[in-house]
Amino acid sequence: MLGRTEFYIDGDWVKPAEAGRIEVRNPATEDVIGAVGRGTARDVDLAVKSARAAFPLFAATDKEERIALIERIIAIFEFRARDIASVISQEMGSPITFAYQAQALGPLQHFRMAVETLRDYAMERPMHGATVVREPIGVCGLITAWNWPLSLIASKLAYSLAAGCTVVLKPSEVSPLSALMLAEVLHDSNMPRGVFNLVNGDGPTVGHAIASHPDIDMVSFTGSTRAGVLVAKAAADTVKRVHQELGGKSANIVLPGADVAAAAQANVQRLFANAGQSCQAPTRMLVHASRYEEALAHARMAAEQVKTGDPSNPETLLGPVVSEAQFERVQGFIQSGIAEGARLVAGGLRRPDGVARGYFVKPTIFGDVNNQMQIARGEIFGPVLPILSYADVDEAVEIANDTPYGLATYVQGATAAQARALAPRLRSGRVYINTMGQHLLAPFGGYKQSGNGREQGEFGLEEYLEVKAIIE
């Protein structure tokens, strides 16, 4: 059995205040594979006391000391990356190749980019006759989601450490096992006692205790918009900084003249790579009416080529969704698409043929979709792609913006200049032009109900820094 019920507090593994446990299931087999402790507010309070006591000394370290610490973390993490990938594959069903290349190596890149950012960042600079100083904000509460269990942690932890902050982390209770391995990596890196603390548990208990704790100075949360609202409300009484990376419903606009076949193939691969469980994945494809049927045909072929099945097979692209609850949620969206009159182009309800166990969803494509349907408006978080048509570019922009979310928009054009011209009109934190590749130094975050604040690079570092003006 994987996992452990102790929490990592003040440099040691300590027993929880109470004896509750949270079981972890392998979504490919539905078997219990491990367990973690079920934390309480008392555990959070102990972790916060540890982080608060460690803060003055760690905040006083210089850049070189913090860079050296992060580089030690990188070296140990890299050595253990394949073991970490194996655990992520088991706890959330990621195909093993993807689990290694993206889920395990991705966090390493966040740590590397934090080092690069910190090395070039000026913590003190003159401004209009005053001196402006950036200082670590204090004790940071990090609350993360299950879909990228270590990347989401690393994108926060790397920059909080770079800033000189101390941390209390609550990983998702759905995929918490890899976070325990990260704690082991941090311990082996000679992390100063109290700088990093981990308490497992559920959102209403541990998450709420972190968000509302008066000795936590800042909360960085990644998860659903609904949960993000609860975190912000819990934090409001103590007037702490709240950073939120929330939901998304990103459109992929395929402009007239673009390569429709390539756009469809790229859209399907990008969306299905993590079983559709990525907040900025292109989950609505918008195609000009004159190319619509062509796009449906290419998307159907791309979906039919997706190898679904055993996550331990290196050739598998699409594994299960993370849990029974998520499986039923995705099935509900597929049913709503059928009920609202969308055309089922590929996939459909229930498991793929021949699959009797596991939370596997058929790779599903819908046509004849309008932007008022549930499949076009809701964050499905599964391998389901609705494809919409538009009459002209103005309508494409209108449809792309017609969502409560604003995390990302993808634009495919015959030329980069054609696609780039739409960027100022799109209400999203990122616009991808003729690409679906990531950029780990560019700011990441959203407009509207996709959250506030930014992660990664200079903007991500500044989330963990306070601003002080010295006037002489």
Confidence band of 12 (pLDDT split at 50, 70, 90): very high
pLDDT at 472: 94
Mean pLDDT value of segment 334-356: 95
pLDDT at 418: 95
pLDDT at 179: 98
* Tokens standing for residue 139: 């004790």
Mean pLDDT value of segment 348-377: 95
Tell me what the pLDDT averaged over the chain comes to. 97
pLDDT at 62: 96
- Which of 41, 17, 66, 40 lies closest to 195 in space, CA to CA? 66
pLDDT at 126 exceeding the cut of 90: yes
pLDDT at 253 exceeding the cut of 90: yes
Contacts (Cβ under 8 Å, ≥6 apart) of 329: 380, 381, 382
pLDDT at 454 exceeding the cut of 90: yes
Confidence band of 354 (pLDDT split at 50, 70, 90): confident
Mean pLDDT value of segment 195-211: 98
The rounded distance, in Å, linking the Cα atoms of 98 and 103 is 7
The rounded distance, in Å, linking the Cα atoms of 440 and 24 is 30
- Which of 28, 31, 144 lies closest to 89 in space, CA to CA? 28
The rounded distance, in Å, linking the Cα atoms of 224 and 393 is 31
Report the alpha-carbon angle 150-466-144, nearest 5: 20
pLDDT tens digits for range 36-85 = 999 999 999 999 999 999 999 999 999 999 999 999 999 999 999 999 99
Which sequence positions are flagged as catalytic?
245, 279
pLDDT tens digits for range 101-111 = 999 999 999 99
Task: Name residue 28's amino acid.
Answer: A
- pLDDT above 70 coverage of the chain, percent: 100
pLDDT tens digits for range 401-437 = 999 999 999 999 999 999 999 999 999 999 999 999 9
Mean pLDDT value of segment 207-224: 98
pLDDT at 107: 97
pLDDT at 162 exceeding the cut of 90: yes
Confidence band of 139 (pLDDT split at 50, 70, 90): very high
pLDDT at 145 exceeding the cut of 90: yes
- Domains of the chain (ranges, CATH numbers): 7-246+450-470 (3.40.605.10), 250-440 (3.40.309.10)
Contacts (Cβ under 8 Å, ≥6 apart) of 427: 401, 406, 447, 448
pTM: 0.97
Confidence band of 1 (pLDDT split at 50, 70, 90): confident
pLDDT at 389: 98
pLDDT tens digits for range 165-189 = 999 999 999 999 999 999 999 999 9
- pLDDT above 90 coverage of the chain, percent: 99
Phi-psi region of 270 (alpha: psi -120 to 50; beta: other; left: phi over 0): alpha
